[in-house]
Amino acid sequence: MARAADLLAECLAAQGFDRLFCVPGESYLALLDALLGSPVETVVCRHEGGAGLMAVADAKLTGRPGLCAASRGPGATNLSIALHLAEQDAVPLVALIGQVARWERGLGAFQEVDYGRFFGEMAKGVWEVHDADRLPETLARAVRLSMSGTPGPVVIALPEDMLSDETEARPLGPLPVASAPPGAEAVDRAAAMLAAAERPLLIAGSGCASPEGREALARAAEAHGLPVALTFKQQHIFDNASPLYAGHLGFKIPPAQVEALAEADLILAVGTRLGDTPTQGFTLPKAPVPEQPIIHVHPDPDRIGAVYRTELGVAADPAAFLAALAGRNAEVTEGRRAWSGRLNDTARRIMDRPPQARPDGVEFGWMVKALAERAPKDSILTMDAGNFSGWIHCHWPWDGTQQSIGAVGGAMGLGVPGAVAAALREPGRKVIGFAGDGGVLMTGSELATAAATGAKPVIVISDNGTYGTIRLHQEKAYPGRVHGTALANPDFAAWARSFGALGITVETPEEAGPAAEAALAHDGPAVIHVKASAEAISPFLTIEDLRK
């Protein structure tokens, strides 16, 4: 006989988990106790949002489910940002959440939440374990479900009294996750459609981000002469210096680029759900009936044709499909080269935004360039949500090998926790976490987690004194009517030092290089506080431009 909590700790290890991000709670004390001395390391965080976002970042980095735990009620609701992001970003995540005792369920007990209702919209599964004997099977199913089809979050609620039950059940290992190889006929048909097209466009998403996926993407593009556009935050999965690079389908890309891409006479979408962001609000391609035929390759058949009329749907592993496609003979014509060259010229022109001298602070591009010139090639980048990331998209030399962790779903707060999680996972590599002055104070207290665990990220803060992204939208919609977007900030370098980190302030473009060098050389967490220009509200627009 074993205590249920001990069995659960053994099950976590049997499923291959080695790290749990959490904030403790009295509702799962027995599990905390069981994790003492377990091979599953407990990383104690300062906010459940931070813990959950660390688990999401860890999953993005490893390709395996992230693991987090939170207490019932307020712990669970704080954690919800990570569940939402995992759903939006198709990231496998297992969340263990405390629950009131079984006999109290439905009585409106202290911190009671019906998780099925609360998380029902975002989680792939929400299971409450009332019988300790079913813990091994429930966890195994949760891990499998988190990874199958479209990956996503799964919640396991743990009634407090159940965790102290005795059980004879034994741990279960991982359940296989089905992955369909592409049928030869489907690959042949896709190859034939590509050969017949004059202006085909390959849109590649996060489903191609694995090492095999990237390799197969590069080979398939090369073999068929296909221009490659990358979905939001997937800029790192294909060499941006390749003549086949056709751009990054971020938020509202310039009209000239939309027009150029829209000339495609065939779209091959691989490893993407073709959501609202890369498709520019379902206009590129146009929903529900696109102007060009679509070949859609995705592991989850339910996603294919869900929004778009799809000429050829292939429910298969994206990397396997691309590898098979790369093996089909194809002739790359002059016309095809001219087409990809045109898209490549447009993409390059748009991203060519050398930073300028600004009267009100440092254009953030100076800092990004200084880091890009000095950081080791295998550095891992994490990005909060905000306009500052535009300069990273423009200036980082993405060559298809780097790892970048950003929130496709746009959640602010990933920058610092993501960097801490990545630094823990890859202690031998430099991890650079970028955040704005808005996002950094949402979850920046996880610097304390870096200090506690020995993680050594470099955090770079763009302090422009405003929720810049919203200010940009505000200036577009209501020029000059600035309200609710200004920020009063602390001295972030002093703030960093209070956590035991190195704190450096950058007030001029000239200071960016030495700051980058010092932060990258520092053997511990470091924070670069950039007093950034708000006038340069993005790499593409100034406030003055917007008001005109």
User: What residues line the site for ligand TPP (CB under 6 A)?
Assistant: 384-388, 410-413, 436-439, 462, 464, 466-470
The residue among 238 and 391 lying less far from ligand TPP, judged by its C-beta, is 391
Nearer to ligand TPP, 182 or 436 (CB): 436
CA distances from 81 to 122, 446, 545 (A): 10, 15, 34
Beta-strand ranges (E) seen in 378-443 are: 380-383, 403-406, 431-436
Beta sheet of 245-249, edge-to-edge order: 245-249, 228-231, 200-204, 266-270, 294-298, 312-315
Q: Least distance to ligand TPP from the beta carbon of 520, Å? A: 22
Token representation of residue 120: 């029902």
Minimum CB distance to ligand TPP smaller for 199 or for 471: 471
Q: Closest distance between ligand TPP and the C-beta of residue 391, in Å?
A: 9
SS3 content of the chain, % helix, strand, coil (to 5): 40, 20, 40
Nearest CA to 15 among 149, 158, 145?
145
* Nearest distance, CB of residue 158 and ligand TPP, angstroms: 27
* CB 164 to ligand TPP: min, Å: 36
Closest distance between ligand TPP and the C-beta of residue 415, in Å?
Answer: 8
Could you give the CA distance from residue 445 to residue 532 in angstroms, rounded to a whole number?
21
User: How many helices (H) and strands (E) are present in the chain, helices listed first?
Assistant: 20, 20
- Provide the minimum distance between the beta carbon of 124 and ligand TPP in the complex, in angstroms, as a whole number: 22
CB of 485 to ligand TPP, least distance (A): 8
**3-state DSSP of 65-122:** CEEEEECCCHHHHHHHHHHHHHHHHCCCEEEEEEECCHHHCCCCCCCCCCHHHHHCCC
Residue 35 tokens, joined: 């994790």
Query: What does the alpha-carbon distance between residue 47 and residue 158 come to, in Å, rounded to a whole number?
Result: 20
Instruction: Compare residues 245 and 396 and give the one whose CB is closer to ligand TPP.
Output: 396
How far apart are CB 472 and ligand TPP at their closest, in Å?
Answer: 8
Q: Decide the pairing of beta strands 166-167 and 2-3.
A: antiparallel
**Of 238 and 434, which has the nearer Cβ to ligand TPP?**
434
Q: Pick the closer one to ligand TPP by CB: 225 or 468.
A: 468
Q: Is the peptide bond before 318 cis (omega within 30 degrees of 0)?
A: no
Whichever of 231 and 340 has its CB closer to ligand TPP, that residue is 231
Nearer to ligand TPP by Cβ, of 174 and 410: the residue is 410
Nearer to ligand TPP, 165 or 437 (CB): 437
For residues 158 and 194, the answer to whether their CB atoms sit within 8 Å is no
Place of tokens 């440092």: 362
Smaller CB separation from ligand TPP, 82 or 197: 82
Which helix (H) or strand (E) segment is 506 a member of?
strand 502-506
Shortest distance, position 389 Cβ to ligand TPP, whole Å: 7
Task: Name residue, tokens 């950081």.
Answer: 375
What are phi and psi for residue 19, nearest 5 degrees? Answer: -150, 135
What residue has token string 């970042």?
57
Provide, rounded to whole angstroms, the least separation between the CB of residue 461 and ligand TPP. Answer: 9
Structure tokens, 140 = 């195994």
Up-side HSE of residue 107: CA atoms within 13 Å toward CB? Answer: 9
Q: How many CB atoms lie within 10 A of CB 170?
A: 11
Using the minimum distance from each CB to ligand TPP, give the nearer residue, 143 or 411: 411
Nearer to ligand TPP, 326 or 440 (CB): 440
> Tell me, what amino acid is at 196?
A
Q: From the CB of 465, what's the least distance to ligand TPP, in Å? A: 8
| Least distance in angstroms from the C-beta of 438 to ligand TPP | 3
User: How many Å apart are CA 145 and CA 465, to the nearest integer?
Assistant: 42
Nearer to ligand TPP, 388 or 398 (CB): 388
User: How far apart are CB 352 and ligand TPP at their closest, in Å?
Assistant: 20
Give the Cα separation of 12 and 18 in Å (integer): 8
Residue 433 contacts residue 443 (beta carbons within 8 Å): no
| Residue of 127, 162, 140, 122 whose CA lies nearest to 5 | 162
Contact 407, 89 (CB under 8 A): yes
Q: How far is CA 185 from CA 305, 316, 326, in A?
A: 19, 13, 15
